[in-house]
Structure 1
Amino acid sequence: MSETGAGLVVTVRRPGHGGLVLLAALTAVAYANVLGAGFQFDDFNVIADNPDIHSRAALLAYLPHGIRPLLKLRDALLWSLGGGQPLAFHACSVVVHLLNTGLVWHLGRRMFERCATPAPHAQSAAVFGAALFAVLPVNTEAVTYVSGSSVAFSAMFMLASLAMYDAFLERGGGWRWLACFGFFLGGLAARETAATLPVLLLLWDALAPSRRGRLVRHAPFWLVLIAGLALAVLRTRYDEFFAVSLSTRAPWDNALAQIRGLCWLLAQALLLRPLDIDPDLHVPDGVDATLVAQAALLALLLLAGLVSGRRWPWAPFCAAWGVLHFLPTNSLLPRLDLANDRQWYLPGIAACWTLGYAIAAATAHAPRSAGIAAIALLSALAWRTHERNLDYADEPSLWRQTLSQSPDKPRVLNNYGVALRLEGRELQARAAFLRALAVDPTFEAARKNLDATTDHLIEDEPRTDGARARFETAAPLAEKP
């Protein structure tokens, strides 16, 4: 075997050092330019203009009745450490993504090993799977967009909890179970979608079935979920959220919409569509040939994962992982936005493991050619992620790129108008607001912004850095609460 081929095999088969260095290097290359990005979109409502995280007294007043307390604690700490600048938030997001990449590698290796995959192949598959996760461009929204980083932040606790649960099953020790439970609570306190973890633990048990002590070690997790559900019902903000969500569309219409949303996310992940922070997706008017084909594709992918279990015992687990983690964001509960890239972050891990296994098999069969192809693929994905992060450099860049993908969406036109106004381009901003109203005459944010722009042109007042306060960006319901 050539030196190049042998070097590649050594790198992927000994991930304790070489593999982890590779993962860290890929993440650094892909996300190095994030540190200079600014706040975007919901970041102003959630962070920059949110007094709840700007002082200790305000934070303490918020926590007893607010939602996602750990996330708010994180935001308050980063706001204080960074002096209100976005650098601290972006640095934290990159570190969290790096930690998640390491956890994806560790859990992937353990999953393959628990399914009796030969150790060298399990290690290689885990490294390649984690490398794909590290540089997949669709994950940028959960890393680079500060308001979207709650997904990655909560995922960190969930993955850490599962890792500790696996260690508990493997080596015992009450402290490992307590750590698992503690990470679970942390995930829930960061984002309520972590409620899927107890089911995930059951799926992990199924990889190496053992009923011994299962009820005792699982019961506290389910009790916390029941208590959390009761608490959510009693909280006014959750009542409002559920009321708005359930009134958004009927169950059948929502089911059709979710088919379209899931296929959109799949296309985004495979780079079949350009990335778009605010895609112009509409609820289908009814069942047509395209929707039937999309539903058939999703069903076929799920069926392929389930029936592949005879040859690859880990495949049904990956299929169940994807379905489980799409449920909180793409299920019976309607969302205003049919799809956002950050929804792929946690479910997509299973796809990365699957593709990682395929790459590992190819490199084992043809180390030189497959190894070069794998390196080229990872390099190309890292560069595409690096390029996507440039869109988040400032508001005009982000909304200019988004408008190129969603040119007729009122919210995009409105937010592009706000970005133009921040650049001092008043007439172009006015044109954007008029276009938004031409598409949707009832769009109140664009109407208010148009009126404010008109007043500004009449008064000929100078633009100031505080001009944003007079304008309204139309934020998505996806992040509320």
Structure 2
Amino acid sequence: MVALRFRILLVAAALLAFCGALGAPFQFDDFSLLNDPALNSAHGWNHVFTATQTRPLTFLSFWVNLQISDAPWTFHLVSLVLHLACVWLASGLLLELLPLRAAWLASAVFAFHPLQTEAVAYVFSRATLLAALFCLLSLSCWLKGRRWWAFGLFVCGLLAKEEVAAFPLFLALLEWSTRRSKAAVGPIAAMCAAALAAGLRTIYATSMIAGSGAGTQAGLTSFDYFSYQGVAILRYLQLLLVPIGFTVDAEVRVPPLAAALAWGVIVVVAILAWRTVRAAQPGFWVLGGLLLLLPSSSIFPAEDLAVDRRMYLPLFCFAALFGMLLQKANQKLLYGYAALLLVLSFAQTRVWMSPEALWMEAARHAPSKIRPKRQLARVVQPAQAVELMEEAKRLAPEDAAVATDLGLSYLRANKPEVALGEFGRALALDPNSAMAIHNRGMALLLLGQADAAKGDFARALEKDPCLFDAHWNLRRLGVVRTMPSGCAWTRRQAELLQRPEISSAP
């Protein structure tokens, strides 16, 4: 009865910590959900079975969500419910695996540590929540001796997000450190085979999908990515111990010596942890957390070197470690610490409720990075946007995307003549960009040069016959072109281009 009350109270506290996410807008990659033609199609569920879809369960959940509503709060509600379900499961597992007082503290850390904010408040992180939920269910079945049920649930986790591929290694470590049952060998081997298949599928899919931002399209080699991950892991652990300094776009690029030193620290910690792993003491939880981080924080490159949501499932282990180390601390101190975590999570969730606050925080923590400035420029006033993008131009003068965003900022500031020069610079840096040609046409149109603008819109369509913006602007100018087949337009875009008359921009 005491355990039940505790778990109910814990879920209520997690709800209080992250309820602000219900009022948050879409952020960053969330908008791609609204612009994905498959998701916005009445038959979008068919895309679940395509060769390049690595997360079919997550995709299907988004498709169902969109059939009901495209309001941000409905997406956030699903994320919040998934997190509360994970909290319920994690607390029950920790009560089974740890001494009572350690389990209480560990459960609180998992439930409402600020590290969890990104996974809960960022709609695109639903894959992380779903995968973690299935892995926690799998662990629950495993501890009850239902190993093949655990296998099936783990496969569901892989279908939600391949990032949980190292979960079988965690189970193997658990078996080796405790029961060492021979009956576990078959299910663990099957899980490893499924994880390998998911990994190979992910490598294939990311190489096929343009702009995936992962694998061969991450913009850096496996070695470079690996070298920075030591710093990323230490950053996660620092945020666990000292929960300040959160940012959606962390800077972890450091000189080679610092990168090597970071990995050196992790290796030493892992070796020391190995000495106590057989007794399922703190060393077990250290190695378990590091194992769960392997798929996202080792050699498979991703455009984002460090993101807090990657710690969501590993935090189950690190929270257990935290609970074991501090279980004998003063009780009032522990209550105070838990209350502090709740307050910090509530405050961090409020940051996610404002695009301006989110990217301003990122720009402050990483002043030399370009992306926070580009994202912030899109949500602030035109004058401030121009200032931000001029600074980005000084940092990256050869970046066509920066030139494009600077031009768009000047358009918003009602300076099409300056924007024209920036769009021309973007086109010089990327001559085959259909959007750069289109943007130049927009500047010409605002300068009263309609014929020249029509020419640019037409040339943009020669580069990309499916460029919606070019079709739309030509129709606004009275030029109706035959719609090409096979274009990946959303349902709304297709409907707009079928209208006999156009009175305003979409």
Q: Does TM-score exceed 0.5, indicating one fold?
A: yes
TM-score by length of 1: 0.79
Distance 1:131 1:56, change over 3 A: same
> Of 305, 314, 321, which residue of structure 2 is paired with 1:347?
314
Q: Is the 8 A contact 1:52 1:62 kept in 2?
A: no
Aligned pairs for 1:420-459 within 5 A:
420=380, 425-456=381-412, 457-458=414-415
User: 1:419-468 CA distances to partner (integer Å, 9 max, x unpaired)?
Assistant: 11xxxx2121111111111111122222112222334414698xxxxxxx
**Within the alignment, does 1:134 sit opposite 2:111 as a pair?**
yes
**Within the alignment, does 1:164 sit opposite 2:141 as a pair?**
yes
Distance 1:386 1:230, change over 3 A: closer
In 1, the alpha carbon distance for the partners of 2:47 and 2:229 equals: 38
Residue of structure 2 equivalent to 1:39: 26
In 1, the alpha carbon distance for the partners of 2:249 and 2:89 equals: 29
User: 1:6-34 CA distances to partner (integer Å, 9 max, x unpaired)?
Assistant: xxxxxxxx642221122112202211211
User: 1:371-413 CA distances to partner (integer Å, 9 max, x unpaired)?
Assistant: 2111111111100000001111121221122222222311111
Cα offset, 1:249, TM superposition: 3.1
Residue of structure 2 equivalent to 1:474: none
> Of 208, 213, 221, which residue of structure 2 is paired with 1:249?
221
Distance 1:403 1:64, change over 3 A: same
- Relative contact order higher in (CA < 8 Å, ≥ 6 apart): 1
Residue of structure 2 equivalent to 1:84: 70
In 2, the alpha carbon distance for the partners of 1:62 and 1:24 equals: 32
Aligned-pair identity in percent equals: 23
In 2, the alpha carbon distance for the partners of 1:232 and 1:274 equals: 32
Query: What's the secondary structure of 2:290's corresponding residue?
Result: helix
Q: Is the 8 A contact 2:170 2:292 kept in 1?
A: no
Residue of structure 2 equivalent to 1:372: 332
**Within the alignment, does 1:214 sit opposite 2:184 as a pair?**
yes
User: 1:59-105 CA distances to partner (integer Å, 9 max, x unpaired)?
Assistant: 31453232211000111122223x10111111111111112122222
Residue of structure 2 equivalent to 1:401: 361
**Within the alignment, does 1:275 sit opposite 2:246 as a pair?**
yes
Cα offset, 1:123, TM superposition: 2.4
After TM superposition, where is structure 1 displaced by more than 4 Å over at least 4 residues in a row? Answer: 229-241, 290-293
In 1, the alpha carbon distance for the partners of 2:201 and 2:238 equals: 37
Greater CA deviation, 409-418 or 195-204? Answer: 195-204
| CA-based RMSD | 2.6
Query: What's the secondary structure of 1:361's corresponding residue?
Result: coil
> Of 265, 270, 280, which residue of structure 2 is paired with 1:297?
265
AA at the equivalent of 1:401: E
> Of 6, 17, 22, which residue of structure 2 is paired with 1:30?
17
Distance 1:39 1:283, change over 3 A: same
User: How many residue pairs end up in the alignment?
Assistant: 415
Q: Is the 8 A contact 2:207 2:217 kept in 1?
A: no
User: 1:156-208 CA distances to partner (integer Å, 9 max, x unpaired)?
Assistant: 1111111111112xxxxxxx444322211211111111221222221222233
Task: Give unpaired runs (5+ residues) of structure 1.
Answer: 1-13, 113-121, 169-175, 363-369, 462-468, 471-481
In 2, the alpha carbon distance for the partners of 1:235 and 1:337 equals: 18
Q: Is the 8 A contact 1:232 1:238 kept in 2?
A: no
Residue of structure 2 equivalent to 1:124: 101
AA at the equivalent of 1:85: A
Greater CA deviation, 133-142 or 49-58? Answer: 49-58
Residue of structure 1 equivalent to 2:83: 97
Residue of structure 1 equivalent to 2:327: 360
Residue of structure 1 equivalent to 2:440: none
Q: Is the 8 A contact 2:206 2:215 kept in 1?
A: no
- Work out which of the two has the higher radius of gyration on C-alpha atoms and give 1 or 2: 2
AA at the equivalent of 2:119: A
**Within the alignment, does 1:384 sit opposite 2:344 as a pair?**
yes
In 2, the alpha carbon distance for the partners of 1:304 and 1:219 equals: 27
Cα offset, 1:355, TM superposition: 1.6
In 2, the alpha carbon distance for the partners of 1:185 and 1:250 equals: 26
Residue of structure 1 equivalent to 2:297: 330
Distance 1:347 1:226, change over 3 A: closer
